[in-house]
Structure 1
């Protein structure tokens, strides 16, 4: 009898081990939330979150958060839906949907991606549409500087770090995430050959162009005037849609000053204030989880002097991602996973703003 019980226990243990061995695994990195970990591994949280929590219950915090350095089991990807045989009725329904889509587009509710896949580079193309959580939303993404103006410059060893390169990499990563969830995205600055880069030191170049295909002028005033004129022209085209402008910059202060991410909006613009607060809320929560012993000092404030937030007809938020001259802040930019985490956190804030409108 005892040997039979022992055999049963051994069989159960081996079965559990065999079952777990069939799952892919992923290690939680600094800045990861469950959603970020799932997205990075090609999984949609809306479909896989519950199963992930069940698989990893023993390795999650009390609030179902990740523990940095722990290995987590990943749910299996959902099987594709079976093809449906086309009938005259389904053809009619498809034609109706097509007509509705054209009608929505004519009223500014397009969810057609406005960015070519090649803009993301070969390693990140094409862009899969994972869900339609942001369908109907239109985003204008404006990375700081570009072209003849590299922006703030930091030093890392013998290398120079240019603000425009790191702001662009976070922005193009954000663009990809937004497109994965059905948003219409315009990159107001585009680099034809950089794509998303996974190097620590991003090479400085000056070949960026302004949307749709304009030379970026050296004059900051003229440059921003042209950029926002394009945003406002597109804003009129998408009249009636939910539209937001996100401007991403990297600050330059004293090398000894370590700063958190700051959010600026135009005074009196309630929608811009709400947008900034929604993103700030996500950053506060993520920092608390990733660095529980360090208070997060980033805040939301008015900045009426910023040209982009003052003149954009789309409600806007202007973000300073850190101090490129500070060695601690530089880790926020040099590690590609950290740049992706910044993009993912911004997306989560944008999603909260869109769904709560």
Structure 2
């Protein structure tokens, strides 16, 4: 996900930017505030963690829907459904309000191996469709599918926060509920000539608060299941600009570095590429994208050894 207003001027320059970025999504952004996503009924979101000597974020007080994030008011998953008893955390990348809160999202937080910006604004299509609106729409669709299969689904935010959450909060969301799997959904902002999707796996990072050693193996399995199901559901080709065969491995993303549960990112397409952007703006394509993500999670959670 690249700068929403100032697109990279050349691919080489973008690659250099991408290598050093890595906030809440896969790169740093500075842009004007995005338009809010369409409203849907509120659902589970994770409340901010307890204060520490350095709070993970200076976030607003939790909304009523956030306060129910630990499953209060939710019945047990119906037995007999394929995901009964499973907990999934879905992380819609960025927030439409981030651009109006530069001081908050630019504050650096600890990701173990480095300090990164709390969050970023995300990218957008050339005609102004924001990544943050795309990700929230897709995640809500995934939630509906997974809940029908019996899963408990927790969102890191559900359009009920003015900005954020910070990247360390996003990782903490899965850790706090002991999620069986977590997926962060994004759209990228690469040069316009680049297209396709890729899944980002956590590299082995052991530094400070970060230790991904226990999750690199299961996260890879999750990532491969997600890659295959997303390609089958959407017909989107593998990325032409990053990774290999639709898979990339990174050590600079706080959402992965701080996770204690199997977790991956998916860049559903390049919002700066005209063909990818056209698909990502299409509600029917987003429906297929959500199905692909849900299918990948289901395959991982019901597969051998799960």
TM-score, L = length of structure 2: 0.58
Is 2:176 the partner of 1:233? Answer: yes
How far the C-alpha of 1:270 sits from its partner, in A, is: 0.2
Query: Given the alignment, which residue of 167, 171, 185 partners 2:153?
Result: 185
Kindly report the root-mean-square deviation, in angstroms, between the aligned alpha carbons of the 2 structures: 2.9
Query: Does the Cα contact within 8 Å between 1:131 and 1:180 map onto a contact in 2?
Result: no
Q: Measure the CA separation in 2 of the matches of 1:254 and 1:342.
A: 22
Is 2:214 the partner of 1:262? Answer: no
- Cα deviation, 1:228-278, whole Å, max 9, x if unaligned, reads 23332222xxxxxx6111000110011232x22200111241000000001
Tell me, which stretches of 5 or more residues in structure 1 are unaligned? 1-111, 118-128, 192-207, 210-214, 236-241
Structure with the larger helix share: 1
- Cα deviation, 1:88-115, whole Å, max 9, x if unaligned, reads xxxxxxxxxxxxxxxxxxxxxxxx9949
Q: After TM superposition, list the pairs within 5 Å mapping 1:176-215 onto structure 2.
A: 176-191=144-159, 208-209=160-161
Q: Measure the CA separation in 2 of the matches of 1:216 and 1:275.
A: 29
How far the C-alpha of 1:227 sits from its partner, in A, is: 2.7
Tell me, which stretches of 5 or more residues in structure 2 are unaligned? 1-68, 100-120, 205-215
- Look at both structures and tell me which one has the larger radius of gyration over its CA atoms: 1
SS in 1 for 2:286: helix
Runs of 4+ in 1 over 4 A off after TM superposition: 112-117, 294-298
Q: Measure the CA separation in 2 of the matches of 1:332 and 1:115.
A: 37
Query: Given the alignment, which residue of 121, 133, 143 partners 1:175?
Result: 143
User: Where does residue 148 of structure 1 map in the other structure?
Assistant: 98
TM-score, L = length of structure 1: 0.50
Pick 1 or 2: higher relative contact order, CA cutoff 8 A, min separation 6: 2
Q: Measure the CA separation in 2 of the matches of 1:275 and 1:229.
A: 19
Q: Measure the CA separation in 1 of the matches of 2:268 and 2:130.
A: 13
Change (3 A) 1:267 1:295: closer
